[in-house]
Structure formats: structure tokens, C-alpha cells
Amino acid sequence: MSKKVAVIRREHFNAAHRLYNQQWTDEKNAATFGKCSLPHYHGHNYELEIKVVGEVDPVTGFVMDLKLLSDLVSEKVLERFDHKNLNIDTEEFKTLNPTAENIAIVIHDLLRPHIDASLGLYIRLFETPRNFVEYPA
Amino acid sequence: MSKKVAVIRREHFNAAHRLYNQQWTDEKNAATFGKCSLPHYHGHNYELEIKVVGEVDPVTGFVMDLKLLSDLVSEKVLERFDHKNLNIDTEEFKTLNPTAENIAIVIHDLLRPHIDASLGLYIRLFETPRNFVEYPA
Amino acid sequence: MSKKVAVIRREHFNAAHRLYNQQWTDEKNAATFGKCSLPHYHGHNYELEIKVVGEVDPVTGFVMDLKLLSDLVSEKVLERFDHKNLNIDTEEFKTLNPTAENIAIVIHDLLRPHIDASLGLYIRLFETPRNFVEYPA
Amino acid sequence: MSKKVAVIRREHFNAAHRLYNQQWTDEKNAATFGKCSLPHYHGHNYELEIKVVGEVDPVTGFVMDLKLLSDLVSEKVLERFDHKNLNIDTEEFKTLNPTAENIAIVIHDLLRPHIDASLGLYIRLFETPRNFVEYPA
Amino acid sequence: MSKKVAVIRREHFNAAHRLYNQQWTDEKNAATFGKCSLPHYHGHNYELEIKVVGEVDPVTGFVMDLKLLSDLVSEKVLERFDHKNLNIDTEEFKTLNPTAENIAIVIHDLLRPHIDASLGLYIRLFETPRNFVEYPA
Amino acid sequence: MSKKVAVIRREHFNAAHRLYNQQWTDEKNAATFGKCSLPHYHGHNYELEIKVVGEVDPVTGFVMDLKLLSDLVSEKVLERFDHKNLNIDTEEFKTLNPTAENIAIVIHDLLRPHIDASLGLYIRLFETPRNFVEYPA
């Protein structure tokens, strides 16, 4: 019988953002997003958990080498977002509102092609210690 | 294709309680619940996570505004339980034993009518950093 | 030259309390202490750090064996306060208001006679993760 | 309607290990596992979460008494692994590579016979605060 | 004999910043501050601890009411910096480089006039969980 | 007036050790150090805080660049101890008992020559989340 195990690696990055719907007036953005929409940005220490689910390789005892997963996340995610302004400096959020929900989906989609298709992939993203999201739920 | 995302807000409250089954003698309560049943109460810093699951609104980028969720939890849960004696001061636990399991179910049922029916609702409650519960599991 | 090192042990206990000055009316207590003075108590997961400072014994490499310190704290502090109502169940806080400041001083004074006089003793007490005290400062 | 609740207890143990496949040469082990395979072992503060899922007993308000669960984990897991060298001192990892994945599976299988068959059992094991696993996933 | 106790309140705010010395060329800023000087800002979840040291008032059992301290920090610090761009939106960092060291000094100096002169005041500021500062040291 | 600020960097390493005084019999070691002296080693996730105290450079706004401090700690401490067996693999603990106290002193003395003499240097070492030491105290 196969035994599914999840392995999780935690990484972090620091970025600036503001919540902003480009289709809306500034007034409607302020009314909807409050101080999260202030014009000159604020920022977060994002804590990122990447979970990979699959069977344990009987030879290595690994689902996936977490060192390789960490290197992959550095290359595909951290180099792109760390110490950046998500709204200005990234292609992904030039028009997409950088809510935690959307950031998690984008990170998932950046990593998905590089993880073996037999493995499940799940993202948890902490915007603050008290506000976080999971995708897919 | 719809994309389900979970958003989680963490809150906290401080309360006193004792474990006690009113149908039992004091001796049986002490034998079953040990020092958790001592007559003059003890207390906890409860940490409460409220998870809401649904599709991301393409206009806001939110599953649910966590500020609104936080306000809702303050109104429906924290004002009711924070700095209270659960056994004495609350209607919910006048006869129901305030175990972490029961507190989580009660909190779920207090919030459920106020969260859109299309959204999933899940509660995690930490009684201590080493003892916690999740409902529904 | 002697080398002073601090060794710290972290313990925890759960207790109920209310802030209350017995010389005052209920109204004045409520005005001063707010919901911390509600009559039926609330409670906390107290996290307690005990720091002992001294020279390293060249034979053991210890300032003080933290296992012995942990046992001492269990005997002198935790058995006295864990799962208790500080206002009702303890001699120490029958008349003394159980603020975090006073609890830290009481814990210090309970332990001081049992720690070698050549060693410094310092208490840090977390009432919540965001409110804590240190004695002596 | 039955209400499934999960109760979780967090425990910890300290152990030494090295990653090593006995079928391989030392060179292949070093190439695969890097510094995790260094010959004289390294170690971790393992944090262990045991989740038990079931219906709440209406008499006690418990899914399972976490004190009994903690005692069971101490007897079956902590006494076996705490302050041990997993590769040398344990039967379980004499030939099985002590990756976090394999340790989680072994802990699950040690506990499973002692938890009521009507209850679900899930293990989360932190090897470090940034590397952890879950079984079954 | 007087007994000095420290009381500490932990608060948090989210802000954007970049490290930048206005006297320098962009090249020198980049060479000195690396990615912390990227032009479009990044950000942090700042965790802020405010320590007040003094004697315990024998009537209240408080060094200082932490509720009042929390309100003061909200009014003087959080309203000024939370969800702001420190370089653009604040008077304090229009010319002063917003390093953690300088932010801690500025926060101290904003609060000092509002804390009784008999009390000591100390600031600890976490820029990330792994980088933090204390002032005065 | 000069303003002293402390800057702190947190790092971590994983290592195996056992407590052992080579002058003693195995029996005396076991009687003194208990399971910490078991012959085949155990291990820890050591968390290491390095605090540097000095005046803020008015040009950079830094006491010391934490990136440089982190690089220095990696080179002088982490490369030496990470994923090692302290008793076997290191010169420093071949005869010196690797208690947390002694490890902190050794780390201090490894770093001290490489930190400007005008700056204070302080080490905090967590052996577990509940046992830690500080040097100099």
C-alpha cells in the first residue's frame, strides 16, 4: 500500500505592496481597502510554506529533497519578489491586485510546472502572523 | 475553473474555566478531569483561528475581507468570552462542559449564521501552545 | 578572570485571577482595572522564565543544572499556582493584587532562598504574548 | 448528526541522526544527502504533533483526554527516541533511513494500535522550524 | 527598599521603506545597502516592544497600566507609521535613513515626553524575526 | 551625546553532542548528566543570537551591517559547527564539555577578534526553546 506523506518547507521574503483595483476610482479603492490602499505602499515580512505531497521513495526515504525544493523556491519565487514592490516591480501584479489570496495563487502557478506532476502542491502564505491564506484549499 | 482559497484570521481572548459535568459528583469530576476540575477555576490565553474557504472574488481579490471577519469575531465571540468565566458568565457553558472541543463547536455555531452560506467555515482553538482542537475536522 | 554566564529555564502554568484592590469599592476597581477586574475571574497561560547568573563550574560546565532548576521551580512555584485561582487559592494573593508585577516579585521571593547566594536570580513573566514583566529590572 | 473534532497534542524530543542508505557507498550517500550524511551524526529538537480525530463524547466533552494521549506518547515514542541516536540506539532505524518522512511513519505505526480504531490518527513532525512533514497526508 | 520592575508591551505595524542616504549617488547606495536600497521600496511587519521600568505602585500593583501604554503607543507611533511609506509619508524619515536603529531611536524620542520622567524607557524593534535592535542598549 | 544601540542577528545550526567530563568514570558522568550523557549522542537545533552594541554611524544609520555580521557568523561559527558532532568533529570540544554555557563562550571567543574593538559583543544560545544561555551576562 502506498503511503502519502506531505513535506513542508518554510521560506520568507519582504516586499512592499498596496491593494488597488485599477478599474476603480481612488475613492472606491480607499473605501474598499482602507489603509491597505494608501498610495505610497506599505509592506510585509511574508512567510511562505510550500507543501509537497506524495509517496516516500523507498531508496532515499524522501518525498522530495527539501534542499532541492528550497533552491527551487529561491529561484522561482524569492528572486522575483524579495525586497521588491509587488505592484511596480513584478509582471504578475502589474494589473492583478496583490492580495494574499492572489499572491498565493501566483506562487503556486510559478512552482507547479517545476514539481513532478505525480506530486501534490499546496501553498500557505502568511501576510502577518494573524492573517494568512492557503491555496488550494 | 474555480479556485478555492482559504483565508485565516487569528484572534485571542483570555478566560477562566473549569471542566465539570454537572451530572456527576465532585469526586467523579476530580477523578476524570484532575486539576482541570479544581473548584475555583483556572484560565487560559485562548488563541483562535477562523478559516473561511471560498472562491476569490475577481474584483477585490478577496475570499472575504479579513478586517470584516475580524470585526465579526470581535462582536460575536470576543465580546462574549473575553475576560469572562466561561462556566458562570456565559449562557453557552452554564450546562455544557467548556472543554476546548465544545468551545470550538460553540464558536463555529455562533459565527456560522453570519458567514455567507457559500463559504466554508473552520475553527482552530489553542487552549495552550501544546493543546489545541479543530472543528469541523 | 571569571566569566559570568546566564542560564534560563522556561516553564509555564495556567491560572485564574482578577485585578482587585480590597481597600476600594467595586466601582473604583472597575474604573481602574476595567475588564481585568470582572468579578468571576479570567485567566492566563503564564509563561515563566527563570534566569540564574554566575560563573561556569569548570568541572561540570554548568552555572546551574537546568534540570535541578526546573525541579525547584515545579516544587516551589508550579505546584502552588498551576490550575489555581490566584485570588482565592493562594496565601500570597489573598490580599496582594495579582498583577504580573506582583506575581513576578512573589515568584522571585519564593525561589531566592533556594538558589545559592552567589548566583543572581531574575524573573520574566509573560501574562500574554504581548504583555510581560521582568524583575528585578 | 455526528460532529467530528480533531484534538492535537504537541510534544518534543531531542535526538541525533544521520541520513544514510546502507546499500550505497559512502560517496553516493554524501552526494545524495550532503552534510545531513556526515559520519558522526548531527541532531535536532524534534517537535511532534499528534492529532486524533473523532466525535465528541457528550459525557466528558472530550474526543480523547489529551493527558492520556500525552502519557501514551511519552511511553511509546519519547522514551524510545528522546536523547537517543536514532541510527544506533533504536531498532526502528537500524536499517531504515531516519528521514523526517520515515520517522513520522514509524511514530504513527507505534501509536496506531493504542488509539481506538474509531479515531483517526495523524502525525506532524518538525525536524526544524522550517522543515516538517505530515503523515498520513 | 524599592523594587524596580520592567513592564513590556508588544505592538506591531506594517510599513514600506528603503535604505537610502540622500548625500550619496544611487550607485553608492546600491553598493552599501544592496537590495535593501531597491528604488521602489520593500516592507516589513515591524514588531515593537516598549519597556517601561520603575517601582511598583503599592496601591495598583502596576508600574504603569499597560492598557494606557498601548493606547499611547497607538496614538504616538502606530497612527504615524502603520501602513505608511516611511521614506515618503513621514516627517521623521524624509532625510533620516530608516534603518531599524534609526526607527528605534525615533520611536523612543516620540514616546519619551509622554512617559513619566521617573520611569525608564527602552525600545526593541524587530524588522524581521531574525534582525532586531534595542535602544538604549 | 552618543547613542548606544544594540543590533541582533539570529542564526541557527544543528549539531549532535553529549555531556561528558573526560576526567570522570562513565558512572559519574551518567549520575551527573543523566540522559544528556548517553553514549551515542543526541542533538539540537541550536538558535544563536549575536548582539553587537555601539553607536549608530550617522552616515549609514547602522551600528554594524547585519548582512556582514551574518556572513561573519556563517564563516566563523556555522561552517565549524553546523551538522557536526561537537564532541568528535570539533577542536573546541574535544576536551571541553559542550554544555550550552561552554558553547556560548566558545562562540563569543571565535567572533570577538573579528568585531571592531569599540563594539560590545553578546551571545544568546538556545539549546531548546525552554533552555538557553547568555554570555557575557
Q: What is the mean pLDDT of residues D93-106?
A: 97
* Any D CB within 8 A of F128 CB: yes
Q: Is the pLDDT of residue C1 over 90?
A: no
Bond preceding residue A136 cis, omega within 30 of 0: yes
Average pLDDT over chain A, rounded to whole?
A: 97
Q: Are E56 and C100 inside 8 Å of each other by CB? A: no
Q: Which of A34, A102, A131 sits opposite B61 (nearest CB)?
A: A102
Identified catalytic residue from F36, F49, F92, F134: F36
- Predicted pLDDT at A112: 98
Q: Is the pLDDT of residue F1 over 60?
A: no
Domains of chain F: 4-135 (3.30.479.10)
Q: What is the mean pLDDT of residues A105-114?
A: 98
Q: How far is F18 from chain D (nearest CA, A)?
A: 9
Over residues B83-124, the pLDDT tens digits come to: 999 999 999 999 999 999 999 999 999 999 999 999 999 999
Q: Which of E12, E16, E35 sits opposite A41 (nearest CB)?
A: E16
ipTM value for the complex = 0.95
Q: What is the mean pLDDT of residues C32-54?
A: 97
Q: Which of F3, F6, F60 sits opposite E32 (nearest CB)?
A: F60
Q: Are F9 and E104 inside 8 Å of each other by CB? A: no
C neighbour chains, 3+ CB pairs within 8 Å: B, E, F
Residue of chain B with shortest Cα separation from C14:
B43
Q: Are F5 and E34 inside 8 Å of each other by CB? A: no
Over residues F39-58, the pLDDT tens digits come to: 999 999 999 999 999 999 99
Average pLDDT over chain E, rounded to whole?
A: 97
Q: Which residues of F touch D45 (CB under 8 A)?
A: 44-45, 128-129
pLDDT-above-70 percentage for chain D: 99
- Residue F49 falls in the annotated catalytic set: no
Single out the residue of E137, E32, E26, E90 nearest to residue F59, CA to CA. Answer: E32
Q: Which residues of D are catalytic?
A: 36, 83, 127
Q: Are D131 and A8 inside 8 Å of each other by CB? A: yes
Instruction: Tell me how far CA of residue A28 lies from CA of A22, A31, B59, E96, in angstroms.
Output: 10, 5, 12, 34
* Any E CB within 8 A of C105 CB: yes
Average pLDDT over chain B, rounded to whole?
A: 97
Over residues C86-102, the pLDDT tens digits come to: 999 999 999 999 999 99
- Predicted pLDDT at D3: 85
Q: What is the mean pLDDT of residues F6-18?
A: 98
Q: Which of F12, F42, F84 sits opposite D14 (nearest CB)?
A: F42
- Report d(CA A39, CA A85) in Å as an integer: 13
Q: Are A83 and E38 inside 8 Å of each other by CB? A: yes
Q: Are C10 and F130 inside 8 Å of each other by CB? A: yes
Residue of chain D with shortest Cα separation from F86:
D42
For residue F18, the SS3 value is coil
- Predicted pLDDT at E3: 85
Confidence bin at E2 (pLDDT 50/70/90) = low
Over residues B21-34, the pLDDT tens digits come to: 999 999 999 999 99
Residue B9 bridge partners (DSSP): A131, B50
F neighbour chains, 3+ CB pairs within 8 Å: C, D, E
Bond preceding residue A98 cis, omega within 30 of 0: no
* DSSP label of B81: H
Q: Are B101 and D62 inside 8 Å of each other by CB? A: yes
Q: Which of residues 39-98 of A touch D (CB under 8 A)?
A: 51, 53, 56, 59-63, 66-67
Over residues D51-78, the pLDDT tens digits come to: 999 999 999 999 999 999 999 999 999 9
- Predicted pLDDT at C3: 85
Q: Are strands F120-128 and F42-55 parallel, antiparallel or unpaired?
A: antiparallel
Q: Is the pLDDT of residue A2 over 80?
A: no
Q: Give per-residue burial for E104-121: e unless 16+ CB within 10 Å, then b.
A: bbbbbebbeeebeeebeb
Q: Is the pLDDT of residue A1 over 60?
A: no
pTM over 0.95: yes
Over residues E25-81, the pLDDT tens digits come to: 999 999 999 999 999 999 999 999 999 999 999 999 999 999 999 999 999 999 999
CB pairs under 8 A between E and F: 61
Q: Which of B2, B7, B49 to mutate to test the interface with A (most CBs of A within 10 A)?
A: B7
Q: What is the mean pLDDT of residues C51-76?
A: 97
Single out the residue of C65, C85, C137 nearest to residue C108, CA to CA. Answer: C137
Q: Which of C3, C8, C61 sits opposite F136 (nearest CB)?
A: C3
Q: Give the list of residues 6+ apart from residue F61 with CB closer than 8 angstroms, or none.
A: E19, E21, E96, E97, E98, E99, E101, E102
Over residues A33-63, the pLDDT tens digits come to: 999 999 999 999 999 999 999 999 999 999 9
Q: Is the pLDDT of residue D1 over 80?
A: no
Q: Are E101 and F63 inside 8 Å of each other by CB? A: yes
Q: Are B135 and D6 inside 8 Å of each other by CB? A: yes
Q: Are A16 and E16 inside 8 Å of each other by CB? A: yes
**Number of helices (H) and strands (E), helices first, in chain C?**
5, 5
Identified catalytic residue from A42, A55, A79, A83: A83
Q: Which of A1, A3, A70, A134 to mutate to test the interface with D (most CBs of D within 10 A)?
A: A3
- Residue F108 falls in the annotated catalytic set: no
Q: What is the mean pLDDT of residues C49-69?
A: 97
Q: Are B9 and A129 inside 8 Å of each other by CB? A: no
Q: Which residues of D touch F83 (CB under 8 A)?
A: 35-36, 38, 42
The beta strands (E) that lie in E1-137 are given as: 4-17, 42-55, 84-85, 120-128, 131-135
Judged by 3 or more CB pairs under 8 A, whether F touches E is yes
Confidence bin at A3 (pLDDT 50/70/90) = confident
Over residues A68-90, the pLDDT tens digits come to: 999 999 999 999 999 999 999 99
Confidence bin at E1 (pLDDT 50/70/90) = low
Work out whether the CA dihedral E62, E67, E72, E77 comes out positive or negative.
positive
